[in-house]
Amino acid sequence: MNSSVGLYQDHCGFCFDNSYSKLPASLFTHQVPQHFTNPNLVIFNERLAGDLGLDIDGLKAANWSFFSGRQLPEKSSPIAQAYAGHQFGHFARLGDGRAILLGEHITPNQARFDIQLKGSGPTQYSRSGDGLAALGPMLREYLISEAMYALGVPTARSLAVMLTGEIVYRAESLNGAVLTRVASSHIRVGTFQYAAAMDSPDVLKALADYTINRHFPELEKQPDPYIGLLKAVIDLQAKLIADWMRLGFIHGVMNTDNMSICGETIDYGPCAFINAYSPKKVFSSIDREGRYAFGNQPMIGEWNLTRFAESLLSLINSDQSEAIKIASQCLDRYQSKFRDDWLDAMRKKLGIFDAEPDDLILVEDLLMLMYKHQADYTNTFRNLNRPSQLSERLLSDQGFRHWMDKWNERLSRQAQSIGDAQALMDQHNPLVIPRNHLVEGVLEDASKGDMQSFHEFLNVLLMPYNQPKDDKFLSAPDTNYDKNYRTFCGT
């Protein structure tokens, strides 16, 4: 799967393979992107293009037409992928309703990445939708996905956003746009649910074998590769959600069709970052019951993985009761794996290098104090070693002062110095995140044709652990703004 022998590289550096489209035809449909008459480039990720081995001059000479679907890379074979998903707990057969996979680009160092156009027109799976996207949501995904990458979170990335030159009608008339998304793949938990629901063992086995070969080749030599696949995906999801939790990120719509098998964050719809710490925090306009609230994300991760395990039962063992037993044993590893990954991340945020039994209590006590005083999640962790910059409400709390004493005592028991602990904290506590009011501000400017503030904010987000020039403006939360803030899927 990693070899590029015999693959053709075109004049823009694209080197396409189409291995997914060799799977059973029921898993996709061939689909050509909509032809937009007047596309224009809004933003291009030159650094990512360089990592992919693309010829930037060639792309520019082609007027960036590959990023609107107006021109297709040579050897690409566009498809729309079919999948299912539990959307807010309810099962539905779905698919790429407004996205088209151009194919798989092979980089000069033999890495394989999906290249997908999002907002590129209707497909067989669009149902009543128009298959289009508006500029704001596509720029939001570009901004947040690149910020997440800089924060060290596995994620799909954004290569370009193009205006289509057409109007998209939602609650109001908006400028249409196409996002070019780059991901290790777009195989989802929902892809396996779709294959399993077809009641076609050959299709499910072909998908599982393909996934193992592409993402987990080390499992091919194991006696039980499908059990290995389940365990590997459990571990990746546990680590991913631990990353979200350490940063205060709310995905917003953790449906099974939005959960990548390879452990990357995908489908940035109603996503946001918490300011005042609260496990109950929800920003998504469609999450009326709080199913995907910040503190529920670990639990929902386990729920989604249970659905994944159910889809693999026939491959795990021909005896269903035995398959359920084995799958349940595999799922038992999720909670301990998540806890270990999360606690390891939280130790680093507190400057702790080693492990002691009471570290979990130390972390949880701090979070309870932050919740009590609605302290800012990001700034509190960043400034623990700068007490004068902490909130007055925290500092005036006797319980917090007692916690600080216990924390300092904990640090004193380490072999590493206090200076080492402070350096560790600064490496793992971002100074800036995509604050909600700042995100909306730059998107509003962009909707008016002014991209300057967007670029300036993006440049800061690409160095989240470094000191920006305007510290107070970029790191200060707007708590009043958050009270009525709502995010939307952007469909």
**SS3 sequence of 59-71:** HHHCCCHHHCCCC
Beta strand 157-169 pairing with 173-183: antiparallel
- For residue 320, the SS3 value is helix
Q: In sequence order, what are the residues at sequence separation of 6 or more whose Cβ sits closer than 8 angstroms to the Cβ of residue 248?
A: 273, 274, 277, 294, 377, 378, 433
The Cα 284–Cα 74 span in angstroms is: 39
What DSSP letter does each residue of 336-381 carry, written as one string?
HHHHHHHHHHHHHHTT--S--TTHHHHHHHHHHHHHHHT-BHHHHH
DSSP class of 222: S
The Cα 398–Cα 311 span in angstroms is: 51
The Cα 269–Cα 489 span in angstroms is: 4
CA angle 482, 373, 246 (to 5 degrees): 70
The Cα 479–Cα 272 span in angstroms is: 14
Catalytic residue, from 257, 267, 287, 376: name it.
257
- Catalytic site includes residue 257: yes
What DSSP letter does each residue of 383-449 carry, written as one string?
HTT-GGGS-HHHHT-HHHHHHHHHHHHHHHTSSS-HHHHHHHHHHHS-S----HHHHHHHHHHHHTT
CB 78 within 8 A of CB 30: yes
Positions marked active-site: 257
